[in-house]
Structure 1
Amino acid sequence: MRRAPAIALGLAALAGALAPSSAAAQAARCSASALPVAVVAPTPAAAAYGKELPLLARSTGRRVTGLTLRLTRRGRTVARGALGRALTTSGGRVRLTVEGALRAGAHRLAVSGRASGCARTVTTTRSLRFSAARRLAVTGVDEGDRTPGAPRQVTVRVRPRAGVPLRLVRATLLDAAGRTVGTGRRDAAITRATPLTLALSRDAGAGTYELVLSARSGKERASRVLRRALVLAAAPPAPLPTPATSLAPTTPVETPTGVTPGVFAQGISLRWSAGTGAGSEQRGFAVPGIGSGEVVCSPRAQYLRVVPSDGSHETSMVLWTHRDWTDWRESALRESTTTLGSSPEFLEGLNKFSAPAWDGSSNGSEKRSHGYMVGVVSDRGPFGGPGEARTPTTIRISWDWDFTTGGAERCSVDLDVHTEGAGGDGPGTLQARSLPVTWRGSATAAGRDAVVRDVPGFGRVAVECRPGPSGSRRLTVVDPAPGLRVDAWTFQGSDTTGVSLVAAPYVLELPTNGLVQGELWIDDGTGRKGDLHELLVASRWKVNDPDPAQNACGLAGQVLRR
């Protein structure tokens, strides 16, 4: 019993001896130098960033809360931001708001936070250097297309120059205020046209954004940067449902579409003159739900290009092309269709002959031209499937160029692209109504061989593509309004035939392989074309193959109120 005080005294002494050691360990554990945070920039090129600097942070050990970052240069704050959640080893993106402009050179980054087990916030600083980057040279970057089924993803297509691979590719999408709305990356080398997916961090509506692309070109050790405008379409219109039952050949029935009539319209102009075309020779556009495209007009190349985003789908582009060289002219129907193993893109020349030389020499034979194209781009669904009726896009393009005199070259191109989207039926409202019919194999045609759309003030427009040699393949205006007129032209090969319908039945036979262009309007007795609607239908069908499984039909049409 007398030993108890001695034991108590010994324990107290031991506790006293340990206390300073524990405090020292805790202090060391929570020192600034021990803040377990690693921070890197997606690319060191200063030109790759706008008003936001998205730094990548990751905990190298313990969980960190209250993480804030402040970037300074020569004592002045350049950017600052915070992570609104705990930082773990899985990492996170800290968006710093740039105050002014980010410039090349050495910077100091102050990293503040509280590590798990620490009672106080500590700050550590480290160096972060940004470089001045040269312009990244690529053959092209195609317009952004919403990834089907993933509204917060956008896919662009990067095309490197031949023989010059791109490595460590980084992409940032900026809005008009310079804020980052999407990012993407690819570490593996890109040697040919390759899709690059950007994840959107916030809702991005249809409009024009800035795409900042950085990459290492060839064997270079420093990144180059390319900044360019990128047109982003609205979320892809939903595929139009097919009819629930096969329709009797003479009794079209209303087919619900699930899409509010409206239109996503893109009006694009390309103009340059006085030989100063550099930087103004290319314009991009979106083909909602299908892919992207571009139009190019320079003394070296003049073309329309469409790149489908899903290589597993059959995609078609049908164009009626008219070229005029003043002394003579020609017209022709052109169709491009993807197949398994075919080129992943459509390239249609505005020119017919080889392009003239850039230096204005006599090389090349087409130095002056004007003309137009009109047609339809459509998606017929996955290869090998029964066919899907998807929303098509119509294209109308006109051009005029003169490259005859060096230093005085000029070019102008106007392009209109229309796709059905959300909208309304108010007076003067721009609207598009899609008319798609697709089936593969006669046995799959039932329930897929017709579609009907209401066109207020005109009636109902139906398209049919029945299987079998005796089946009907036609467009009909059902329940027509009084005074309706339909003027239409059918293009096949290099031939054009026209017809004017002023009374029922309003029926247009659809060609085996061709394009129908028309106008629907109401004749009020004055001769004016009031409430004009434009019609385009691309048509390809085969119904007499000895093997019924080889028969197919693809109709892609649109009625557009301008």
Structure 2
Amino acid sequence: MSPARGVAAWVLVALVGSLLPSTTATGAERPGAGGASATPAERVATRRVEDATRRKIVLDWNGPGGRQVRSTPVPGIGTLKLVCKPRNTMVKLTPYDRSAETQMWLAKHEDKAGPAVAVKNVRVYRWADADDDGRGGTGRSAHEGLNQATPVENYSSGFMHGVVSQRPGRHQPTAGAARTPSTSLEINWYWNGFHHPRQYRSCRIAATLQTVTDTSIGVDWHGDADGLAGPSRQVTPLDGLGDLELTCSPDHGDGGRQDVLLRTEDREATLYYERIEGEGAVDDHVETDTLEHDPVLGAVPPVTLPENGMLRLWWTAHGRTRRFVLSSYYVVNDAEHPHLNLCEVAAAEF
């Protein structure tokens, strides 16, 4: 499915959902039996796709029965928990190591008087920055709620895509540290009847996680000294396409360089991308564009990384397309406190 069709499909689901009755309990509010009859193998399946571990987990209940919580590993990082209860809906991340800087970036799409998106960074950490003494930070887990109101609204639907990544805490250098592979996420949810008797309530949350376990794409550094001493550019060969070049460098007086590109010999190569920043109407916060190969550069032109946001990238070369979701947060302009400058960029295939 193309990105445009995916958004259109969600808008249609949201529109249909908005027409459902919210004040009377009727059969129209109850889901079909297909989700409830799914086998355990259909609910949780793991398979290998081009050296990637791909896992799908589905929470699906209808009426008084069914599990309202399901969990799955995020390889090398922690566990992801889906929760859908009439009084509580969320996606929760619990890392194995709270002393690391763990982030779950999400582009959350839902209906708010029209298609809306919000970029969320769900963090678990002990050190907020290089000046932190480590006695505060977050708890062992962090979450993103799915409901827009309290109490939880009668009906809701939406989807989000994102990436989970991890690096050493912000109190220490990280440029030369071994990287844990990042994991991409695609999550959609639907519930109905939460303001009605139990027999009319239903919920379904489906999550797909993909991890390329032998590759970790990203650039991290904490403080200008770390960024200047360690690698601020990463080159990752993409089988069948070319080389993915990711750069996030400190400010050497010129603002540094923060971008991503595909270097390839294929002159027909293209990139379609989405740039997602901030929160509000999709039309205002999701920028899309298509770039063609530059024969002089020998690459599809670079895309500037968001200072605090996400990219989704579809590179096509040599007849193949590979898709990535990328999170990006960097500060390179604090001349008074250069030790607080940092770059944390991670990408994963989806």
Q: What range is the shorter-chain TM-score in?
A: 0.7 to 0.9
1:231/1:286 contact within 8 Å kept = no
Contact 1:312–1:383 at 8 Å: present in 2 too?
no
Higher helix share: 2
1:331 aligned to which of 117, 120, 125: 117
Match for 1:547 among 318, 328, 337? 337
Q: Does 1:284 align with 2:71?
A: yes
Q: Does 1:351 align with 2:134?
A: no
Matches within 5 A, 1:215-234: none
Q: Map Cα deviations across residues 381-417 of structure 1 (whole Å, 9 max, x no partner).
A: 1442211333211111011111254322221211011
User: Displacement of 1:289 after TM fit?
Assistant: 1.4
8 Å CA contact retained: 2:242, 2:262: yes
Kindly indicate whether the alpha-carbon contact (under 8 Å) linking 1:233 and 1:286 is maintained by their aligned counterparts in 2: no
Which residue pairs with 1:410 in the alignment?
Answer: 202
C-alpha separation in 2, matches of 1:502 and 1:351: 40
Distance of aligned partners of 1:330 and 1:311 in 2 relative to their CA distance in 1, 3 Å threshold: same
Asked whether 1:295 is paired with 2:91, we answer: no
Pairwise CA distance, 1:354:
1.3
Separation of aligned partners in 2, 1:531 and 1:298: 42
Indicate the SS of the match to 2:326.
strand
1:510 has 2:305 as partner: yes
Letter in 1 for 2:97: D
For 2:221, the equivalent position in structure 1 comes to 439
Letter in 2 for 1:496: V
Instruction: Give, in whole Å, the separation in 1 of the partners of 2:88 and 2:304.
Output: 38
> Counterparts of 1:473 and 1:349 in 2: how far apart (Å)?
31
Where does residue 265 of structure 1 map in the other structure? 54
CA displacement, residues 135-186 of structure 1 (integer Å, 9 cap, x when unaligned):
xxxxxxxxxxxxxxxxxxxxxxxxxxxxxxxxxxxxxxxxxxxxxxxxxxxx
Match of 2:213 among 417, 421, 427: 421
Q: Is the 8 A contact 1:381 1:390 kept in 2?
A: no
C-alpha distance in structure 2 between counterparts of 1:517 and 1:376, whole Å:
10
Alignment partners' CA distance in 1, 2:47 and 2:71:
11
Structure 2 vs 1, CA of residues 230 and 398 (structure 1 numbering), >3 Å: closer, same or farther?
closer
1:537 shift after superposition? 0.8
Distance 1:315 1:515 in 2: 16
Gaps in structure 2 of 5+ consecutive residues: 1-39, 127-135, 280-284, 295-299
Equivalent residue pairs, number: 281
Q: Which residue of 1 aligns with 2:131?
A: none
Higher relative contact order (CA 8 A, sep 6+): 2
Instruction: Output the CA distance in 1 between the equivalents of 2:77 and 2:46.
Output: 13
Letter in 2 for 1:538: S
Q: TM-score, normalised by structure 2?
A: 0.74
> How far does residue 480 in structure 1 lie from its aligned partner after superposition?
4.4
C-alpha distance after superposition, 1:215-260 (max 9, x if no partner): xxxxxxxxxxxxxx999999xxxxxxxxxxxxxxxxxxxxxxxxxx
**Structure 2 vs 1, CA of residues 266 and 355 (structure 1 numbering), >3 Å: closer, same or farther?**
farther
CA offsets, 1:293-341, max 9 Å, x none? 110112222110000111211111211101126x544211111223322
Cα offset for 1:501? 0.8
* Alignment partners' CA distance in 2, 1:232 and 1:398: 18
What is the match of residue 180 of structure 2?
A: 390
**Structure 1 length normalisation: TM-score?**
0.47
Kindly report structure 1 stretches of 4+ aligned residues shifted beyond 4 Å. 229-234
Mark the CA change 1:230 to 1:488 in structure 2 (over 3 Å): closer, same or farther. Answer: closer
Change (3 A) 1:478 1:522: closer
**Which is higher, the Rg of structure 1 or of structure 2?**
1
Task: Say if 1:513 and 1:539, in contact at 8 Å, map to a contact too.
Answer: yes
Aligned mates of 1:270, 1:336 — CA distance in 2: 21
List alignment gaps of at least 5 residues for structure 1: 1-207, 209-228, 235-260, 357-365, 423-432, 524-529
Let me know the Cα RMSD of the aligned residues: 2.7
